[in-house]
Structures are given as C-alpha cells and as structure tokens.
Structure 1
Amino acid sequence: MTRRQAREYVLQSLFQYEFTKSISDRKEIQEGLANKSPSDDILEFIEDLIGGVIKNLKEIDEIIQSVSKHWELQRIASVDRNIIRFAVYELLYRADIPAAVTINEAVDIAKKYSTLESFSFINGILDTIAHENAPENAKGGKRQKESTK
C-alpha cells in the first residue's frame, strides 16, 4: 500500500467521521484495510492523519475558512472539505512531508474523487495556506510533528 492509497483511505474515514462522529481505532482501521496489507509505517501514517485531523479539527477548519473567501466551510463539498482537512494537517504538522508533495497528492486525489473544478479550488486553498504557514511563518513551530496519541 502506498501513501497515496493511505490518503485515499483517510479521505474515506474522515468522510465517514463527518456523519458518525465516531473515530476509528487501530483495530477498525486494520479491518478496513484487511485486503490491502499495509506496512506498519503506512498504518502509523493513516492513524496519524485521521487522529491528527480530528484532534485539530477546530483549528484546521478555522484556517480553511479564513482563506476560502466567499465560501462557508459547510458549503464546500464534503469530499473536497475532507481532502483539504487532511492536507492542511500535513502542511501544519508534518514537517517530514514537503508542502508541494502534500498539495500534489491532494489535487490528484481530488481529480479522482471529486468534480472537474474541485482540484483547482483545492490547489488554491492549499497553496495559500502553505504560503501563510511556511516554516519561517508558522506560529509556534507547528510544522513539527505532534503526537496524536
């Protein structure tokens, strides 16, 4: 399983979380990935993204709202909103992943799972957030990986 596939699974999990408000634990994640056999590193990556987004959801949503001019967060399609959420988490809390990689992955996933127009909207939102939260501008050094456990 690749990190791209992991991000796709994270998208599905966050989409489900919006409706159930239930967080998948490690056992549920492993069951959901039973036929994909993720490595321990990929499983940890998935858990970090899901847990990190949920733990920091209020802050992530505030950041998205602040740059999505003329769009209320709830008006953004759920798929797009959740792609943006996990990408913002990566931009803010995963210094080990270059911003360009995060943005490219989010755009490619949007091309696969959303509308033809969504990827450019997502690209614009994430590019703005990446520039506003570049490591030298990040408040409190957020680009350092924080534990979600």
Structure 2
Amino acid sequence: MTRRQAREYVLQSLFQHEFTGAAPDRAELLNFMKDNPPGKEILEFIDDLINGTIEHMEELDTVIQRACKHWELNRLAAIDRNIMRFATYEIIFRGDIPHAVTINEAVDIAKRFSTEDSFSFINGVLDKIAHQSGVDKAPDKRAVKKSSGMVNKRAVKEHSA
C-alpha cells in the first residue's frame, strides 16, 4: 500500500467520522484493507493522520476557515473539507513531509474524489496555509526546483510511495 492509498483511506475514514461521529476502528480498518494490507509504517501513518486530524479538528478548521476568505467551511463539500483537514494536519504537524508533496497528494486525491473544479480551490487554500503556517520550512530541494518553483514529480513520487 502506498501513502497515496493510505491518504485515500484516511479521507474515507474522516468522511465517515464526520457523518457518524464514530472514530474509525482499527479492526474495521484492517478488514477494509485485507486485499492490500499496509505495512507497519503505512499503518502508523494512517493512524496518525486519522487520529491527529480528529484530535486537532477544531484548530484545523480554524486554520482552513482563515484561508478560505469568502467561503464558509461548513458550506464546502464534505470531501473537500476532509481533504483539506488531513492535508492541513500534515502541513502543520508532520515536519517529515515536504509541503509540496502534501499539497500535490491532496490535489490528486481531489481530482479523483471531488468535483472538476475543487482541486484548484484546494490547491490555493493549502498553498496559503503552507505559507502562513508559521512552520514553513525550507522546501525540499529535491521536490521543488529553485529557479521556477515547479514541483519535481520524481521527488513527490518518492515521498508519496
């Protein structure tokens, strides 16, 4: 299982949590992924994203709301809201993942699960959050070309896998 697939499961878990109020169950998680079981590292990554996002949801929602100037968070599609929640958690609390990787992954997941225009909105919001987070770190030199600021797909793939 790749980190991309893990993030997709995190999205599904957060979406379910938002509507049921129930925290995802580890046994349910493992049963859901029985055809493509995660390794220990990926399972820990999934646990951290789900539990960290739920634990810090109020703070994450405040950060996202500030970045969405003319939009009310509760009026955004639940898929978009939850993509931004776990990505914002990664940006603020996961110093081991370059912001460019987090944003790229969130955009690609939005392209797969959300509406045609959502990915560009999510990209803009997350970019703003990354720049205003106060934990802005120097970009991973492999992930971002210094001269153009274009994302290096190979470096992003390395951090996504």
Identity percentage over the alignment? 61
TM-score by length of 1: 0.89
RMSD of aligned C-alpha atoms? 1.2
Listed as ranges, the matches of 1:91-130 within 5 Å are: 91-130=91-130
Deviations 1:97-147 (A, max 9, x none): 00000000000000111111100000000000000014259xxxxxxxxxx
How many residues matched? 137
Mapped to 1, the partners of 2:132 and 2:77 lie a distance apart of 24
In 2, the alpha carbon distance for the partners of 1:19 and 1:47 equals: 19
Q: Distance in 1 between matches of 2:14 and 2:42?
A: 17
Structure 1 residue 43: Cα displacement: 0.6
Where in structure 2 are there 5+ consecutive unaligned residues?
138-161
Query: Does residue 84 of structure 1 match 2:84?
Result: yes
* Aligned-partner Cα distance in 2 for 1:73–1:26: 29
Aligned partner letter, 1:7: R
Alpha carbons 2:130, 2:136 under 8 Å: kept: no
The 5 Å alignment of 1:48-59 reads 48-59=48-59
CA deviations over 1:43-87 (Å, ceiling 9, x no partner): 110010000000000000011111101111111100000000000
Gaps (5+ residues) in structure 1? 138-149
Paired letter, 1:26: R
Question: 2 CA distance for matches of 1:21 and 1:136?
Answer: 32
> For 1:4, what is the secondary structure of its paired residue?
helix
* Cross-structure match for 2:141: none
- The normalised TM-score by structure 2 is 0.82
Within 5 Å, which residues of 2 pair with 1:56-67?
Answer: 56-67=56-67
